[in-house]
Amino acid sequence: MNKDEIKKRKAEIEEQRKALSSKIEKGEISNEDAEKAIAELKARKAELDQEIAMAESPDTTETRTAFDFSEVTNALIEKRAITIPTELGGQALIGQIVEEMKAKTPLLNLVSVYTGTNAKTTIPLLQPGLAVPVGGEQGAKNIAEDSTAKLDAVEVLPRPFMSLLPVSIETIKFDKVGFAQKLPSLFAEAFAQCYHKQIISGRGDSHKEFEGLGSLTFKSEKTINAAASGKVTVMDLANLALEIADKTDTGYIILNPAIYSKILADSPEKDLSAVYLKTLIETKSIEGVKVILTSHMLKDAGGGKVVAIAGDLKKFGMGIAGEIDITPKAKVGDTNVYFEAVMHANGKPIINDFYALKAKA
């Protein structure tokens, strides 16, 4: 319905309202009929108001889906570089890649991810944390401040990460496998493992990498030491799980498979250890805390080394710029075209509230 039709219907309703008011004043209509007519006019006016609101609201349905793969395909065939900025659907493409990445690696689906507008954007990552409520008398003035409470923005400046994709000219030119539509999945496969590794073992700004969990300095009160030297047992892991289970309902423990195997080997198969082992093997959880096994986690079980990291992974923030650059590179005598895709991302703990299990020195 266009604006002229809406205006016409609005005028009709107003005329009917005036006519009804006149009949009520003259007593030409019963109370029951008047109430019914008033209710009908109100319903019609409400419908009209809704249509007016819809007609006047901006149409944003194309914002996320405006990306046109033909531009990428043409650029690849012509062997020219292309930047897909936000206004040309770059953020929509990045969004597809991020969703694909989340499905491919467990950590990317658990950390806080924010997509900005472009590579130059400094991305705010909010970590809401309110003070724990305390009781007090009316008019109390000495309520202690909770120093761990936080509602702030942590900024990360996205850094470039590159992936090289070799593609035959026949594939591009004849689109044998729906190549353009497969781009999100292809890039997601490449970048997913990269970012997964960065979250755990990134070495920080000095190496132009994420500030990974493995590079954290863990507070003494958030460090659990194994009970026996040279061993890491399931009881040690249970102590770590109990520490974070008391603080959050969404905590996870990250382990290297090599450390996991060592725990299974070092733990006695009796008493409570046997119960924990059975649960750990069958459900990959302990004391209700899920365990994530990944080869990117630290695996040195030497004395004083961190063998497991635990906490609420939402407290790790990852920013991804909503822009992607694709540059073709050719080699002499090679019919393939090598497309270098560049995505900009960075990540760091929003708040250092993570726990560590260390092997006893």
294 pLDDT more than 70 = yes
- Nearest Cα to Cα of residue 99 among 85, 88, 113: 113
**Tokens (6 digits) for 266:** 């070092």
CA angle at 92 for the pair 88 and 96, rounded to the nearest 5°: 145
Q: Residue 173: pLDDT above 60?
A: yes
67 pLDDT above the threshold of 60: no
Q: Output 338 or 61, whichever has higher pLDDT.
A: 338
What is residue 166's predicted lDDT score, i.e. its pLDDT?
Answer: 79
How much is the average pLDDT of 104-119?
Answer: 79
The three-state DSSP-derived secondary structure of 212-234 is CHHHCCCCHHHEEEEEEECCCCH
Q: What is the mean pLDDT of residues 71-80?
A: 62
Q: Is the dihedral of CA 70, 75, 77, 81 positive or negative?
A: negative
Q: What is the pTM of this model?
A: 0.67
Looking at per-residue confidence, does 317 or 259 come out higher?
259
Are 159 and 311 in contact, with CB atoms under 8 Å apart?
A: no
DSSP string, 173-207: HHTTT-HHHHHHHHHHHHHHHHHHHHHHH-B-GGG
Give the pLDDT of residue 277: 94
* C-beta atoms surrounding 215 within 10 Å: 16
Residue 126 has pLDDT above 50, yes or no: yes
- pLDDT at res. 65: 41
Residue 316 bridge partners (DSSP): 349
**What is the average pLDDT score of the chain?**
79
Q: How many CA atoms lie within 13 A of 222 on its CB side?
A: 17
CB-side neighbour CA atoms (13 Å) of 73: 17
Q: Quote the pLDDT of residue 61.
A: 39
Give the whole-number percent of the chain exceeding pLDDT 90: 28
Element (H, E) at 177: none
What are the counts of helices (DSSP H) followed by strands (DSSP E) for the chain? 9, 13
Are β-strands 123-129 and 355-360 bridged in parallel, bridged antiparallel, or unpaired? unpaired
pLDDT band (50, 70, 90) for residue 317: confident
Whether residue 50 contacts residue 42, with contact meaning beta carbons closer than 8 Å, is answered with no
Strand 306-312 and strand 336-349: the pairing is: unpaired
- Each residue's pLDDT tens digit, 127-172: 555 666 777 777 777 776 766 665 666 778 888 998 887 777 777 6
Share of the chain above pLDDT 70, in %: 75
Segment 357-361 mean pLDDT: 90
Q: What is the DSSP letter of 248?
A: -
Residues in the chain: 361
**What's the rounded Cα separation, in Å, for the pair 290 and 302?**
25
Quickly count: other Cβ atoms within 10 Å of residue 18's Cβ.
10
The CA distance from 310 to 218, in Å, is 11
**What is the Cα–Cα distance from 322 to 295, expressed in whole angstroms?**
29
Mean pLDDT in residue range 289-297: 93
Which of 176-210 are b and which e, b meaning 16 or more Cβ less than 10 Å from the residue's Cβ? eeebbeebbebbbebbbebbbbbbbbbeeeeeebb
DSSP 3-state of 249: coil
Helix axes of 179-201 and 69-77: crossing angle, nearest 10 degrees: 90
Please give the Cα distance from 16 to 22 (Å, whole number): 10
CA 224-230-236 angle, 5° bins:
30
Task: Over range 40-64, report the average pLDDT.
Answer: 59
